[in-house]
Amino acid sequence: MKKKELPSLPLFTDKFLAETLHINICETGIYIKLLCWYWTKKRGVTKEEAFKIINDDKYNKSTEYVLKEFFVFNKDNSRYEHKRLEQEHDYLKDYYLNKATSGRIGGLKSSFSTYSKQTASKMQPPISIPISIPNNINKTKLNEKPFHIFWEALRAKKGSKHKSMKLYDSLCADLNPIEVANIFNNMASKIKDKQFIPYVATWLNQRRFEDEEDKPKTYIEPIYEFKGIKLKKMGEFGEFIELKDDKGNKYHKHKFRNIPIEKI
């Protein structure tokens, strides 16, 4: 199939928006134009070619940034490549080639019986992420609100998400969402009959995230020393805790008996 016969560039908007949150509108436009050119030509692009495509010297620095952020530089041919677009291009080319072939031999079912499993496997669509993940993206920007982090960390999402979000934003805006979720999860883990786990909105409204008894207990690893030498815990084996110093010497401490650490 010729390149011009391929359909338009597949753009999965949710992924594209999520992966371009950290760039401005000018850089986004440059990225889209380079994607369209790349899809049409299906080959790598040099920095000089990219400058010509954008066709405005004042955007050269932004163009260079977009190339380094979303494309991979191939040292063998000195070009920037977009592996995901190439994969999408090959998939669609095989898809429409197989579709045309199956029409000529009487339908898709007969094509699967005629062609090998290897040919049929090309009909399986790739993962729907046509845009490469940026190299330097700050993952926290993908979450619109701390509430979303809190909600996703809950093990029991009971009740209205909308009401829970309103209460969370008004009561827990200054709190760490993961810590608040851990308090809820710790409380829920103590309830044997899960139907009695409270609604998240009710739990927030009662400010139960302030209950000390539900806060997960943090375990602080004790400091191990042998004659003034600090030791690092390597693991637990049977009745002993195995330790090691900076020089690689091994020691062990009995887990139950209150006896001094011994060098082994």
From the list 126, 42, 133, 28, the residue with the least C-alpha distance to 79 is: 42
Predicted pLDDT at 22:
84
| Domain with 182 in it | 143-214
How far apart CA 86 and CA 94 sit, in angstroms, is 12
Residues 121 and 193 occupy one common structural domain: no
Long-range own/partner contacts, residues 141-150 (CB < 8 A, 24 or more apart)? 141/21, 141/22, 142/18, 142/21, 145/169, 146/172, 146/173, 146/177, 147/177, 149/177, 149/178, 149/181, 150/177, 150/178, 150/180, 150/181
Residues 28 and 147 occupy one common structural domain: no
Mean pLDDT within 1-25: 70
Residues 122 and 249 occupy one common structural domain: no
Residue 200 has pLDDT above 90, yes or no: yes
**Confidence tier at 77 by pLDDT (50, 70, 90):** confident
Domain boundary among 120, 137, 154: 137
Q: Compare 168 and 212 and report the one with higher pLDDT.
A: 168
Residues 9 and 98 occupy one common structural domain: yes
Asked if the structure places residue 175 within a domain, the reply is: yes
Asked if the structure places residue 41 within a domain, the reply is: yes
Mean pLDDT within 98-119: 52
Residues 114 and 40 occupy one common structural domain: yes
Residues 130 and 169 occupy one common structural domain: no
Asked if the structure places residue 88 within a domain, the reply is: yes
pLDDT, tens only, 29-73: 998 888 888 877 766 889 898 899 998 888 999 999 998 888 888
Mean pLDDT of the chain: 77
Predicted pLDDT at 166:
93
For the chain, how many structural domains are there in total?
Answer: 3
Residue 139 has pLDDT above 50, yes or no: no
| Most confident region among 66-70, 102-106, 111-115 by mean pLDDT | 66-70
pTM: 0.37
Residues 118 and 162 occupy one common structural domain: no
Predicted pLDDT at 21:
79
Residues 2 and 133 occupy one common structural domain: yes
How far apart CA 202 and CA 183 sit, in angstroms, is 14
Asked if the structure places residue 207 within a domain, the reply is: yes
Residues 208 and 191 occupy one common structural domain: yes
Asked if the structure places residue 55 within a domain, the reply is: yes
Predicted pLDDT at 106:
56
Mean pLDDT within 19-33: 87
Task: Give the chain as a 3 state SS string.
Answer: CCHHHCCCCCCCHHHHHHHCCCCCHHHHHHHHHHHHHHHHHCCCECHHHHHHHHCCHHHHHHHHHHHHHHCEEECCCCEEECHHHHHHHHHHHHHHHHHHHHHHCCCHHHHHHHCCHHHHHCCCCCCCCCCCCCCCCCHHHHCCCHHHHHHHHCCCCCCCHHHHHHHHHHHCCCCCHHHHHHHHHHHHHCCCCHHHCCCHHHHHHCCHHHCHHHCCCCCCCCCEEECCEEEEEEEEECCEEEEECCCCCEEEEECCCCCCCEEC
Residues 112 and 198 occupy one common structural domain: no
Which of 89-103, 146-160, 247-261 shows the lowest mean pLDDT across its residues?
89-103
Residues 103 and 154 occupy one common structural domain: no
Residue 111 has pLDDT above 60, yes or no: no
Asked if the structure places residue 164 within a domain, the reply is: yes
Asked if the structure places residue 83 within a domain, the reply is: yes
Residue 143 has pLDDT above 80, yes or no: no
Asked if the structure places residue 219 within a domain, the reply is: no
Residues 74 and 35 occupy one common structural domain: yes
Residue 195 has pLDDT above 50, yes or no: yes
